[in-house]
Structure 1
């Protein structure tokens, strides 16, 4: 078997969409294999009606001072799964009081209140992943 025969069989494989071919001539056995060319995924285009522009609403007066996450991690509202949360909406807090835990790289980082005040909003859910700078709480200062 020569180069021309092998090229002819390779062309036949492509034409028929085969990924493998074994040819026996006299005492020679030739096995040709190829990986099929990847096919581009079929994408459907869907046209959605234009959504009305959302109007920016200012934060309510006295919405409070945000307490933001100092790192990327997982927010935990309580010290343990079956424990009470550190704080709830309406709780009075003092500067330095633990508000939550943000787990980052297997380290539990306590997030403390930086001001005295009242918790007016908890911005994230327990177990939610938070980004650096994400608001965790809002505290109305006293």
Structure 2
């Protein structure tokens, strides 16, 4: 019996028991994807994030972010470089490291990674920027308190587009 168990683990990535164990591990560790390759065989298991993320997100974005984001684009449009100076010397702007689509939360039903008033550390995930179906977690890279969210949910962002304002004195 021990021989057949070892054969099923090493011989076939499509073994049902092996897949069940992988699914349980995904649930236990809150993983969204597992991609295994063994010689010519490949097994990729995804939990609905990639498919469910885009369409419902667009539907939920306007009511949620409208009030918080309305003043910020006006400030950025009126002279993006003068706005940070008016906020004070302790305000740091977190900019997008890539071109893509901005998401403030891991999935449509999740709470935002951060909101105004939250404290962040250098490794705190503040948002996701999706580029070519890859969801890239963006860390704050500064310590402080979020004072403004400058983009809306599902908004297309360019490289170096301001995303957040952080007060580093708090």
Bin the TM-score by the shorter chain. 0.5 to 0.7
User: CA deviation digits over 1:108-135, x for unaligned, max 9?
Assistant: 0111011110001100011000011000
Say which of 135, 138, 142 aligns to 2:165: 138
Aligned residues: 89
For the pair shown, which has the larger CA radius of gyration, 1 or 2?
1
Equivalent in 79, 89, 93 of residue 66 of structure 1:
93
Q: Which residue of 2 aligns with 1:86?
A: 113
TM norm structure 2: 0.49
Q: Deviations over 1:93-122 (max 9, x none)?
A: 111110000000110011101111000110
More helix by share: 2
Structure 2 unaligned spans of 5+: 1-77
Question: What CA distance in whole angstroms lies between the structure 2 residues aligned with 1:107 and 1:86?
Answer: 18
Q: Is the 1:63–1:138 contact (alpha carbons within 8 Å) kept by the matching residues of 2? A: no
RMSD: 1.9
2:14 corresponds to which residue?
none
Q: TM-score, normalised by structure 1?
A: 0.58
Residue pairs, 1:1-142, within 5 angstroms: 59-62=86-89, 64-142=91-169
